[in-house]
Amino acid sequence: MEWNQVLGRVVEEVAPLRGSGVVADYIPALARVDPARFGIAVADLEGRVRGAGDWEMPFSMQSISKVFTLALVLSRGDGTLWNRVGREPSGNAFNSLIQLEHERGIPRNPFINAGALTVTDELISRVGDAGEELLAFLRAESGNPGLRVDEEVASSEVAHGDRNLALTHFMASYGNVRNPVPTVLDQYVRQCSIGMSCRDLALAGRFLAAHGVRRDGTELLTRRQAKRINAIMLTCGTYDAAGEFAYRVGIPGKSGVGGGILAIVPGRCAIAVWSPGLDARGNSVAGVAALDHFTTLTGWSIF
């Protein structure tokens, strides 16, 4: 089956689900997004990209940014990162304080909010401005110099970010935050507020399918590091629904409450889907279904 046929079939299959779920109304700037939007893009190892639906419409990447921030930290060496954050599934909500207290300020994995705040703190210590470092990387890998932070989304998140502020202060009380809390929170929010299309996101994530090799042919990560990020995406990338995602989709993925999901078929391609309607666990209803159909049609599950 050719790519256009595969993507056409996926769009057709998920059509009844468009508009299902609820948008992330706790972030006012995201609450106004049309939940019936849907886009999908696939970038192969050669950088060719194909898409369908609203695949060139920018959306807020939100927690998908955590994958790239982690990669940028690991590209500079593991250092002390894995002493500060674990690699196990959480089984709790992505912004939970309960588990963080039980484990004395060490987040369970880098893809829940507390873990991502720790990774951002680590990147700040290494490069100074984590937000600008990430934006420059995404512009280079996507080939889109126009990528930017959506200031309305960022302001909206800051105004409604009491839980993230509490998480950061709580970790700081255990000595697991090295930079000023306001700095860490501001740069974390700005990373999450970058707007990308499915096209941009699939191209930017292609290095994980290419075993750590960037668009220009240089090595960002070793093969082992890329393998391990993909593994954490599979086990921790969709909040407390990672088991269900692995069962249905069968490839590594990282979701965001903006409705996007970045998924990786190692050695083949990166896939980005977007549909703003979320399920109770914060994952795109139509996006998960689209990836389920995609891996079924192509046979590209890792299992």
* Spatial separation of the C-alpha atoms in residues 21 and 228, rounded to whole Å: 31
Residue 303 carries which side chain, given as an amino acid letter?
F
Stretch (H or E) spanning 42: strand 39-44
Is residue 184 within 8 A of residue 117, CB to CB? The reply is yes
75 part of the active site: no
247 part of the active site: no
227 part of the active site: no
239 part of the active site: yes
| Set 60, 63, 142, 197: catalytic member | 63
* Spatial separation of the C-alpha atoms in residues 161 and 185, rounded to whole Å: 9
| Set 49, 184, 188, 197: catalytic member | 188
* Spatial separation of the C-alpha atoms in residues 215 and 213, rounded to whole Å: 7
Is residue 118 within 8 A of residue 95, CB to CB? The reply is no
Q: Rounded to the nearest 5°, which phi and psi values hold at 75?
A: -65, -15
For residue 93, count CB atoms less than 10 angstroms from its CB and return exposed for 0-12, middle for 13-18, buried for 19 or more: middle
Tokens matching residue 277: 């309607």
| Set 66, 85, 177, 275: catalytic member | 66
| Set 23, 42, 90, 239: catalytic member | 239
Which residues are catalytic, by number? 63, 66, 188, 239, 257
